[in-house]
Each structure stands twice: as C-alpha cells, then as structure tokens.
Amino acid sequence: MAKQERSIRTRRKILEAAASVFEEHGYGAAKLSAVLERAEVTKGALYFHFTSKEELAYAVLDAQTEFPVRRVQRCRLQEFVDIGLLFAHRLSTDVLLRGSVRLTLDRGSGELDRSGPYRGWIELNHQVLKEAQEHGEVLPHVDVEETARIVVGGYAGINLMTQITGGLEDLEAMAGAFYRHVLPGVAAPGVLGTLDMAPDRGARLLAAGPERSTGGEPAPPG
C-alpha cells in the first residue's frame, strides 16, 4: 500500500489504542506505554504523529464531532433528535468515540481543556434548531441557543449517569426518553406528534445508508 495510506492507517491505529486506554483509565492515569502496546507500533511511529499525551488526547476529543453527524431530514427537529439518537447507537460500536466521550465526561483538574466537544455540539445543535425555527417547527417563545445548551449538557449527563449506574446499553433508551421529555417544550404542536424518538431510531438510521458531514454543503431547503 502507498506510503501515505500506511501513515493514515498507523495514525488511526494509534488514535484507537489511545481512546481505549483513555476510556479505561481516564486522562490522568493513562500511560503512553500502554498506548504503544495496544497499537503495536514503535515509539518513533507514535512520536511521528503525536508529540505528547496531551496532543493525543486533543486528537481523540476532536474525533467526537468530526464524524458525519447530520442526516438531512425534511423536518429539522427530526434531524435535531437524530443527532443524539445516532450518537447513542454509534457509541456501542465505536471505540474512538467511547474514549473521546470518557475524556469529556471527566471533570478533570484543569490539565486538559475539555470544552471543545461541548462547544462543537452546542454549535451543531444550535444550527439545526435555527433551521427548524426558520421552517416554523419551533414554539414562538423558545430561545434556540439556550435549548442547544440545555440539550447538550443534559445529554452528557444522561450518558454519564448510565455509565455510572447502569451500562452503556441503557443509553439508547435513555436518550429517547430525554428527547421525549424536552421536545414538548420546544416543538410546535403540529410537529411534535410527527417526531420519531424511539430507542431503535439510531440503529435504523445507521442501517439506512450514507450520511452527510457537518462540514459539507448547506442543507437543502425542506
């Protein structure tokens, strides 16, 4: 395989190994020697891609909002709900995502700035909610920027609580219940009844085919 392709694969292998070490031990206790062992790469290869544990952690954190997260729907509020339901489903299969989430769900001690993913998710949710508002799908009094913050923070807590009290397998059910609790205060009456917030929605979306990245072209009018 070509040199560049090999380099991309090695980088990915290191990132996934680091994510699994972060998931298990958290940032503070994670050791680069464990990453080397799991990735089965040399120290030289690791330092070629990442100069420190900190740089590795930021790359893992970035991965959380880099994967394609939007699936265009005629109804923007459905798209808003889909972001969280798809994420809950992905978490069960994607080790890089799990390691990234683990870093985000520790409060840490100031040694790592964990605010990036929160800001990224708030921005994305805010954008989709603004489109929903333009389409007349949102109740008149709703402050969509506030709603974006409440949903991102609340979702993170649902995730944290299921990890601490139950298992990750609860997340899809809990995420569905979370949206069913929040949407009555957000959605216009005619829209609320049309929303699919079932726990298996994420799995069905993923099975249905390709996605569109947030970095892509603007969504077509609904």
Least distance between a second copy and beta carbon 39 (Å): 20
Contact 97, 209 (CB under 8 A): no
Written as six digits, the tokens of 157 are 């807590």
Residue 91 or 158 with smaller CB distance to a second copy: 158
Least distance between a second copy and beta carbon 40 (Å): 23
Q: Environment class of residue 130 by beta-carbon count within 10 Å: exposed (0-12), middle (13-18) or buried (19+)? A: middle
Least distance between a second copy and beta carbon 202 (Å): 18
Q: Which residues bind a second copy (CB under 8 A)?
A: 24-26, 28-29, 102, 104-109, 114-115, 118-119, 146-147, 149-165, 174, 177-178, 180-186
Residue 41 or 175 with smaller CB distance to a second copy: 175
Say how far apart CA 142 and CA 140 lie, in whole Å.
Answer: 6
Written as six digits, the tokens of 119 are 């800001």
Residue 10 or 159 with smaller CB distance to a second copy: 159
**What's the angle, vertex CA 104, arms to CA 183 and CA 211, rounded to 5?**
60
Residue 11 or 84 with smaller CB distance to a second copy: 84
